């Protein structure tokens, strides 16, 4: 059964710039730059028939309008027990609209609603045994985060193997966005 999710790819030059933040954080398992992405909707483990339905349903969203994404800061998820370090994204109406449209289309295809709030980000590392103080110190010492912008010309349906996260991810299908 494939494990699926929709997302945006990160251009190589943006991935390289993000990879320069790697290192120096205890308990960090760094994600390889080629696996950086922005998850729009986690779908999960589905059978092949459902996977085909998902791919067909997402076709309806091809030709949504193109937009740009701006990465603006480092952050962590997990509060007092950080579990992930990420690059945060400046809020954008077009990104939120695309994610919400995917949520609607996938629910119509029979998937349960995604109960998590959409917080667009690029995961840089999974954290284990890292205190909130260590994470805060790392982010402070990482230096000023120079914003990184890139145009989004398509979204994709990714698959991944059942693992502890971090890839490898495979693009199963891509959906172009209109100019």
The residues carrying an active-site annotation are 37, 121
CA 42, CA 120: separation in Å to the nearest integer? 12
Count of alpha carbons within 13 angstroms of residue 96, beta-carbon side = 8
Helices (H), the chain: 12-19, 48-59, 93-108, 132-141
């Amino acid at each position: 059964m494939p494990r699926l999710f929709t997302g945006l790819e990160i251009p190589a030059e943006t991935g390289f710039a993000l990879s320069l933040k790697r290192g120096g954080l205890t308990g960090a398992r760094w994600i390889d730059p080629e696996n950086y992405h922005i998850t729009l909707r986690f779908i999960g483990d589905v059978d092949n028939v459902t996977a085909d339905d998902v791919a067909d349903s997402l076709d309806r969203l091809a030709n949504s309008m193109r937009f740009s994404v701006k990465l603006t800061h480092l952050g962590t998820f997990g509060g007092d027990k950080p579990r992930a370090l990420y690059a945060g994204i400046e809020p954008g109406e077009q990104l939120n609209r695309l994610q919400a449209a995917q949520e609607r289309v996938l629910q119509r295809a029979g998937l349960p609603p995604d109960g998590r709030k959409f917080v667009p980000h690029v995961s840089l590392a999974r954290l284990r045994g890292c205190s909130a103080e260590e994470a805060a110190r790392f982010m402070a010492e990482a230096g000023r985060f120079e914003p990184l912008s890139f145009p989004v010309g398509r979204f994709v349906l990714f698959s991944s193997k059942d693992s502890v996260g971090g890839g490898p991810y495979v693009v199963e299908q891509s959906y172009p966005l209109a100019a």
